[in-house]
Amino acid sequence: MAPKIPAGFRAAAVLVKPVLLATTKRHWSGAENLPSDRGFIAVSNHVTYADPFTLAHFLYDHGYAPHFLAKASLFDLPVAGKALAGLDQVPVQRGSARAREAVDAAVKLLSRGDSIAVFPEGTLTRDPDMWPMLARTGAARMALEHDVPVIPIAQWGAQELLAPYSKKVDLFPRKTVTVKAGPAVDLAEFRGRDLDIGVLRGATDRIMDTLTGMLEQIRGEAAPDKPWDMRREGGGR
């Protein structure tokens, strides 16, 4: 079974959960794909700063303490930052000597059977139509180095609650938020190999292709042939 949810998370849920229940209509599925016997990495697409709350709600209500591996700047946001900090979350200090600390902290959580929630794109998508971008390889590296499953969780609708890059929350009328967990991404062909850039990129693309395919089903439309690449196409916003 998954580790018992700590009291701090239950206390936070008392404050946050009623707001989400009052402002969202939840269309959830796929909880049977969440492992109950080992730690796992939950990966999700990232459209709005509300995503951590809706993803956390999904995980929490299915018995998992939502531990996020997210860029450190998110912890500076007035509302989301306070919610993420102090609940055993994992800030990523990119481009500094402390970057490895995030991985070590995440591995410790995984080894005790907890879940880690990661937005592999590293920031809100810059794709004009809000499809997943080309992602960073950190989640794939962690999964392959420590032999843990990657569970794709696609979500859509939270951007109606809080538009991308907006600070103005639109609470009413209630917004429909779809969250769907899929089976563990098949990374068998990448495991046991030297983790060079080819292997890491291949595993990362497999993860993101899976997420994008799930999002296509939720949205009922096709994603672009190639994911948005900020290095090639710029920020887009």
Q: Where are the domains of the chain?
A: 27-222
The reported pLDDT for the residue numbered 8 is 76
**Residues 118/147, Cβ–Cβ less than 8 Å:** no
Task: Say what the pLDDT of residue 70 is.
Answer: 67
CATH of 27-222, one of 3.40.190.10, 3.40.1130.10, 3.40.35.10, 3.10.310.30: 3.40.1130.10
Which pLDDT value is given to residue 95?
A: 61
Q: Specify the pLDDT at position 28.
A: 98
Tens-digit pLDDT profile for residues 99-137? 677 778 888 889 989 999 999 998 999 999 999 999 999
Q: What is the predicted pLDDT for the residue at 124?
A: 96
Q: What is the pLDDT of residue 121?
A: 95
Q: What is the C-alpha separation between 107 and 66, in angstroms, rounded?
A: 15
So what's the pLDDT on residue 83?
A: 65
Question: What HEC string does 16-72 produce?
Answer: HHHHHHHHEEEEEECHHHCCCCCCEEEEECCCCCCHHHHHHHHHHHCCCCEEEEEEH
Q: Which residues of the chain have pLDDT under 50?
A: none
